[in-house]
Structure 1
């Protein structure tokens, strides 16, 4: 995004989400290939050792189903963040992982909390609330699309399913909403028309000059009469000139 008024596609919009998701799959492959269990590197609330999970938990998953359900929305949402919010994308991702992880560590049950779902809730929450606050038609459309695709996720911020870290989901929801407010000024703004700019003078606008003060169209001939006209005449060539 060159300016705050326009969006711009770049290689990073696709490359980083691909590498991010690929790294998560590689971690899972290492667990399967070498018989290693990284679960103990997840967040274990209110213990000093469990703090390391704030950094490591988004990359650890309990199984192929858990991994599949997390990496697809993670790819889509990360790509959307880098396209629509490129100047603050890294801040949202890095601080989103840290803050949501710390909140989970503070309020979570005494169990290992793993998976990228906390970060996914950060991105869903941030994208939704940011689009509403931005008042930009594209960002509002993105918010509505996120609601359509992932709106049902809201139920999992409640303890309705055993074995699911609703605390991590709640932490992500809160974090995303806070970021939408904190980064309120760093949003893309829709382009303004001439008449919306400060210092605009109607009489100088090339389009509005074709209308009178009552909004009636002025015929082109009337305007043409007010402008100086230059006439060109051509005489036939003489035989000498030929």
Structure 2
């Protein structure tokens, strides 16, 4: 049974309308068309309400948060949509809007199909630790999205001798700086999440989540150190970003996917 059904029809209606709004937002990337941007905003607001009702448990008698790979991806993508909503006020990115709209619709449906399970928080600090961890997912996800545009622009420059501008007219150096601002912010938030988990955990375990999280943290630390000390740029830097993000996904989302979907059992 899906998680949305446990709260009655309201979450399911919100999910369907959010998916519809995201679909409208993904319908066009023409900058002259005005309705996709407000559609993405509407989808994001409905998505946020859905997260509060279903994952956060607002109005649910059972205490705790709904945890699982579906809810975590849903929240992470919503954070990327929120970042885009702020960024687009300064830089119009219609192609990014389409990608995020498709991703938003997909994760809303994914959280409905694989809702995870409600778990009580073992510590008063656990909610903050969880939110920081998911926030780092969102920031690194935004960095990856910009890094793919950066790589595409560099390929176009090599093949066509194009000017030093990104696929959307943004100067490459500006796009690169923006990409690694997200990396820096994500690294700070991830560091806080790991430190908080280490300090507040009643029993610290070196399990798969901890190992992959620490490996991801190490890759991001090496990336930022390489940029600072050796001037890493371009595809060398973005490869490190992709590897670190993949490790971070394996730490929580990947392990829960294996347990919940492949093995069909819960995981602590």
Fold shared per TM-score above 0.5: no
* TM-score w.r.t. length of structure 2: 0.35
Q: TM-score, normalised by structure 1?
A: 0.38
